[in-house]
Amino acid sequence: MEETLEELVKQREELQKKANEARNKRDQLHLQSKKLILERDSLNAKIRELREQAKEHRKRRDEINERVKNAKKVRNQLNEAYEKIRMKIRALEKKRSVALGGPSIRKLKNEVRQLEHEQMTRPMSPQNEKELIEKIAQLHLKIKEKEKALLQDPKIKKTLEEEKQIKEKAEKQHRQVEELAKKAQQEHEKMINLLKQCDQIREKINELQEKIVIVKIEADKIHNEFISYVDKIHELDRKIAEEKKKSSIKLEDLPLSQKRANEIFERFKRGEKLSTEDLMILQKAGLI
């Protein structure tokens, strides 16, 4: 059954409505996709920025670690020098102690440590503890006398002064190693923290990328629907044009009734919906 011009026009209006809806939905999806892409690109830029910062912290950490390495080397050298001079002092003290007679300072100090340990760990009567304390005090006195006598030896005195200087340098160098190691650790922790932030942002980027793909697929689907509607509208336009041509020929062959044209015009003024044929009659009558 052949469709009338009015039916074709109605179909076209419905298709145009669907096409407009599809176009609007497609454009909204494209806008959503653009926003997601902008957000993704912004996060990618943030990752590049954080990586550069992490790179700087890694560089500083490595530089400080190199300084730590050199500082440790110097510290180890000072420790070795300290041990050597301690051995030298012990040898001098031993030699001097032999000359002075009696036990060496080292032996006396060992004895003191043993007695102090005994006092703290072994139960004893007040009298025994009193005697032990007096013995410890006597040993301390002997140590002081021995040390005083040893300091009378210019060679030992000079060596002890050298020992003190080396010890101070070694301790200072050790503090420097610890400070540098602490700074290196701080730079390392900052680098790790920035890299963790990059990982967290990368997870967000992956989520955004999934959304972008889904939105683009949906937008392509809607766009294809829109194109399908447009193609159908073009086909209807062709049919409508053919029907208008046929209607125009038929109206020329029919006698026009002014009364009918006036009736249609009155309906037109009242806002009633007119068919395509009605409109052509009004046009033919010169009323529109």
**Whole-Å CA distances, 116 to 74, 103, 273:** 37, 19, 120
b/e string for 22-41 if b means 16 or more Cβ within 10 A?
A: bbebbeebeebbeebeeebe
**Whole-Å CA distances, 267 to 244, 248, 273, 281, 282:** 22, 21, 8, 13, 11
Q: Give the per-residue pLDDT at 37.
A: 96
Q: Averaged over 33-47, what is the pLDDT?
A: 96
pLDDT at 254 over 50: no
Helix axes 126-151, 5-100, angle to 10 degrees: 80
Q: Indicate the average pLDDT of the chain.
A: 85
| Residue scoring higher pLDDT (163 or 4) | 163
pLDDT at 255 over 70: no
pLDDT at 106 over 80: no
For residue 174 the two structure tokens come to 């050790």
CA dihedral sign of residues 133, 137, 138, 142: positive
Nearest in space to 8 (alpha carbons), one of 226, 225, 237: 237
| Residue scoring higher pLDDT (256 or 18) | 18
Q: Give the per-residue pLDDT at 259.
A: 64
Q: Averaged over 97-113, what is the pLDDT?
A: 76
Task: Write down all domains in the chain, each with its CATH number in brackets.
Answer: 5-253 (1.10.287)
Q: How far is the C-alpha of 76 from the C-alpha of 70, rounded, in Å?
A: 10
pLDDT at 48 over 80: yes
Which region among 57-61, 114-118, 175-179, 275-279 has the lowest average model confidence (pLDDT)? 275-279
Q: How far is the C-alpha of 247 from the C-alpha of 239, rounded, in Å?
A: 12
For residue 205, what are the contacts with CB-CB under 8 A and spacing of at least 6?
40, 43, 44, 47
C-beta of residue 98 within 8 angstroms of C-beta of residue 153: no
C-beta of residue 26 within 8 angstroms of C-beta of residue 222: yes
pLDDT in tens, 92-103: 777 776 666 677
Percent of the chain scoring above 70 in pLDDT: 87
For residue 128, what are the contacts with CB-CB under 8 A and spacing of at least 6?
none
pLDDT in tens, 133-178: 888 888 888 888 777 777 777 887 888 889 899 999 999 999 999 9
DSSP letter assigned to residue 256: P
pLDDT in tens, 70-87: 999 999 999 999 999 988
Percent of the chain scoring above 90 in pLDDT: 47
